Amino acid sequence: MITTPTAINIKSPYYGAASTAFSGDEADLVQSNFIKALEHFTKTTTTETLEQKFKRLSTNWKEDNKFSSRSSLLLSNIYYLGIIAMGQDALPYIFEDLKKGPNHWFIALAIITGANPVSEESRGNILAMTEAWISWGKEHGYTS
């Protein structure tokens, strides 16, 4: 029996027509890390507050990815996936982090909220994308 490798396509609303496509081993890694992140980060086995949890995960994610902003690395990073697994609880902390300066939270925000406030002409412009998301966060009560 011939098996087809796992394929995951993630259409990025932020980088024009480009999409992130994973296949074979890369898709298996993303899928495996996402499942591990969901299992690990949704368990209530700690007295850590949501803010402490977010800070720990975001610090580890930023350390792991300080030399790259490739979306395939974001979505294969267990700490970034852990933040996504926090769901809406992570939003106030993501917005506070964005207000300190641009960072690649856009995929996490889109996954958690289902929204895309970034205009077509702003795609790829990290400063404009950051401003669009902060405005969206204010309008929806996630930040002041």
Q: Which residues contact 53 (CB under 8 A, 6 or more apart)?
A: 41, 46, 86
Tell me the sheet residues that pair with 22.
Answer: 8
pLDDT at 34: 73
Residue 22 included in any domain: no
The boundaries of the domain holding residue 108 are 34-139
Residue 106 included in any domain: yes
Residue 22's SS3 state is strand
Least confident of 39-43, 50-54, 65-69: 39-43
Question: What is the rounded CA–CA span in Å between residue 49 and residue 27?
Answer: 32
Residue 14 included in any domain: no
Of the pLDDT bands very low, low, confident and very high (cuts 50, 70, 90), residue 28 is: confident
Averaged pLDDT, 75-82: 88
Residue 122 included in any domain: yes
Closest listed residue to residue 31, CA positions, set 64, 8, 4: 8
Name which residue leads in pLDDT, 50 or 20. 50
Residue 99 included in any domain: yes
34-38 long-range Cβ contacts below 8 angstroms, 24+ apart = 34/75, 34/81, 36/78, 37/78, 37/81, 37/82, 37/84, 37/85, 38/81, 38/85
